[in-house]
Amino acid sequence: MKRKFFTLVELLVVIAIIGMLSALLLPNFMGARERARDSQRKSDLKQIQKAFEMYKQDQSPPSYPSQLPQSGQEFSYNGIIYMNKFPTDPNPGGQYFYSVNNQDLTYTLCACLENKADKDGVSCYPPCTCQSNSKCYIVNQP
């Protein structure tokens, strides 16, 4: 007698194997997405840092912006464009933090990292206001 169909037991075994494989791979996939967003945050802060330094050189007396430009907007001053589109945190609801002291010509830019094991992450301090147990990526004036 020829069989044309799979038995119920064979189908259940295949479904169980697929379920176990997906359970093993899903956390790795989520971790990769967190690391990708953290890489984007670091890159964004470095780009903002460079734009702020160019801005400072064009000011007389030298100074940094008093606040972060609006996300998605052009960062410019007196017709000079420093960034075509100011970056936003890649995680919806996330934000970048900024504190400036133009008396000393210092500033701090920071972002909350999702990957707590990130080697570039440090303990958060103001102006960063991240959740407890989170790490921050902090950029200061060069």
The answer to whether residue 1 sits within a structural domain is no
Q: Is a pLDDT exceeding 90 seen at residue 32?
A: no
Provide the pLDDT for residue 22. 84
Distance from C-alpha of 127 to C-alpha of 25, rounded to nearest angstrom: 36
Provide the pLDDT for residue 5. 79
The answer to whether residue 42 sits within a structural domain is yes
The more confidently predicted of residues 127 and 25 is 127
Question: Tokens standing for 125?
Answer: 């301090």
Question: What residues make up the domain containing 102?
Answer: 9-140
Task: Please tell me whether residue 112 adopts helix, strand or coil conformation.
Answer: strand
- Count of structural domains within the chain: 1
Q: Give 75-123 pLDDT, tens digit per residue.
A: 999 899 999 999 999 988 889 999 999 888 999 999 999 988 889 999 8
Task: Please tell me whether residue 78 adopts helix, strand or coil conformation.
Answer: coil
The answer to whether residue 26 sits within a structural domain is yes
